[in-house]
Amino acid sequence: METQHFDRFDDPVVAADVAHHLHPFTDYAEMREQGTRIITHAEGHYIYDSNGNKILDAMAGLWCVNVGYGRQELIDAATEQLNKLPYYNTFFKTSNTPAAELSQRLIDIAPEGISHVFFANSGSEANDTIVRMIRHYWALEGKPQKQKIISREYGYHGSTMVSASMGGMSGMHDQACRLPDFEHIKPPYGFLYQGNMDEETFAEVSANWLEEKITELGADHVAAFIAEPIQGAGGVIIPPKGYFERIQDICRRHDILFVADEVITGYGRTGEWFASKTMNLKPDLMATAKGLTSGYQPMSAVLVGERVAEKLISDGGEFYHGFTYSGHPVAAAVALANLKVIEDDGLIEKVRNDTGPYLAEALQRLADHPMVGEVRSFGLLGAVELVEHKDGPKHFAQQGHAAVVVRDHAINMGMMIRAVRDGMILSPPLTYERADIDATIDILHKALDAAMDTLKLS
């Protein structure tokens, strides 16, 4: 197809993009109609597009730019490392200084019991790696029939075949993407399922969904349960207090590994290095990515607990798994610089003691809005559930439409925010100040008002 065909887009970059670039998570027919937004540069908490718009990034990219844009420390670390050693692999007992130092650093900040690190390039690869490790582990334990992985509806674990099967996104499964041996339970999604239960009862009921599934499958066949401490892409679903305590107890009783997918919640977002610390979790394995490099380089790290690591080391022989770019020296150097910025700037304490609580307070300003059914937050993750009528049903008749209308108004008003089903999602950089939170809530408020008009709600 000729690029010229798209010259109705004034910008030749948009024309080329629309003509030849198949984007991730994009409706291609819609993109062909509307074109794409070209982000040209970014600084601090703002991104800029080729039409001259300045947009407040209340999503930190895709939940990842934890230290904000344009941090010189990360740029310098990358440049220096590119000059010194731009690439070498970590296969067959070779290594590089940043990868070795980063593994040490990650173990220093990881929850107790985590002893080793496996590097990959994305959250999806981290989760694929975890499934490979887990199955290998159980085979080494003499229980090769322990294969099944349980996860939750609305969970997001990535886009490869394995990670999408493990995720609980029905739209993805519908596109022929559900491998056998991946099982799902309902999430502890209070807005939908809590009803009149108090928090403690709901924690018990929702954790029991795991026990029921294990009973159905037989514990002898279940390898692991994997969960995001807070479900991100599923809509910032925050579990009731006590949920994970029960979940971990169930896993222990049935001898099932517990995996925390901390791709979003890791590296400061919940006011600790990891949500596992915030929520007192003791995972056997953890997937981390996104905030590890603040998105400046693609990199993920699987954090492996002693139980699995010791087995792989003592009995495993060669682990036939790895990526050309595992432990990439430039990515590792950027990760080290990024972790140093998070520490030196006190970003974790800032989220825990200041901006996290302030976001919770600021979101309350939206609670009385006629379109708002619930607001909730945890650290610097926030969600606003939209409803058609305050005392009506939880869903809009046409699910997914209203939130997109609010999102588009917000973008036109100069703020990037995300729509999930009938809800709005916030995940700003950890460098956000109170004034940025105020600006975010103000714009969201105006976008809600504008959406009331567009949707003809009164």
Ligand X SMILES: *Cc1c(COP(=O)(O)O)cnc(C)c1O
Task: Tell me which residues touch ligand X (CB under 6 A).
Answer: 122-124, 127, 156-159, 228, 232-233, 261, 263-264, 289
- Picking from 182, 246, 257, 183, the residue whose alpha carbon sits closest to that of residue 223 is 257
Supply the minimum distance, in Å, between the C-beta of residue 127 and ligand X.
6
Rounded CA gap, 226 and 123, in Å? 13
Task: Indicate the residue among 71 and 290 with the shorter CB distance to ligand X.
Answer: 290
Supply the minimum distance, in Å, between the C-beta of residue 149 and ligand X.
14
Supply the minimum distance, in Å, between the C-beta of residue 164 and ligand X.
10
Supply the minimum distance, in Å, between the C-beta of residue 296 and ligand X.
14
Task: Indicate the residue among 47 and 162 with the shorter CB distance to ligand X.
Answer: 162
At 169, list the tokens: 């996104």
Task: Indicate the residue among 6 and 154 with the shorter CB distance to ligand X.
Answer: 154
- The residue number with the shortest CB distance to ligand X is 123
DSSP class of residue 346? T
Q: Which helix (H) or strand (E) holds 339?
A: helix 329-344
Q: Could you write out the DSSP letters of every residue in 16-56?
A: HHHHH---TT--HHHHHHH----EEEEEBTEEEETTS-EEE
Rounded CA gap, 425 and 150, in Å? 26
In the block, tokens 């010791």 appear at 310
Q: How many residues does the chain have?
A: 458
Supply the minimum distance, in Å, between the C-beta of residue 227 and ligand X.
10
Task: Indicate the residue among 328 and 409 with the shorter CB distance to ligand X.
Answer: 328
Task: Indicate the residue among 235 and 240 with the shorter CB distance to ligand X.
Answer: 235
Task: Indicate the residue among 156 and 244 with the shorter CB distance to ligand X.
Answer: 156
- Picking from 375, 312, 325, 287, the residue whose alpha carbon sits closest to that of residue 110 is 287
Supply the minimum distance, in Å, between the C-beta of residue 63 and ligand X.
6
Angle at 51 between CA 50 and CA 55, to 5 degrees: 85
Sheet holding 39-43, edge to edge: 39-43, 46-49, 54-57, 415-416
**Cβ atoms of 409 and 454 closer than 8 Å:** yes
Rounded CA gap, 7 and 285, in Å? 50
Supply the minimum distance, in Å, between the C-beta of residue 155 and ligand X.
8
Task: Indicate the residue among 223 and 275 with the shorter CB distance to ligand X.
Answer: 275
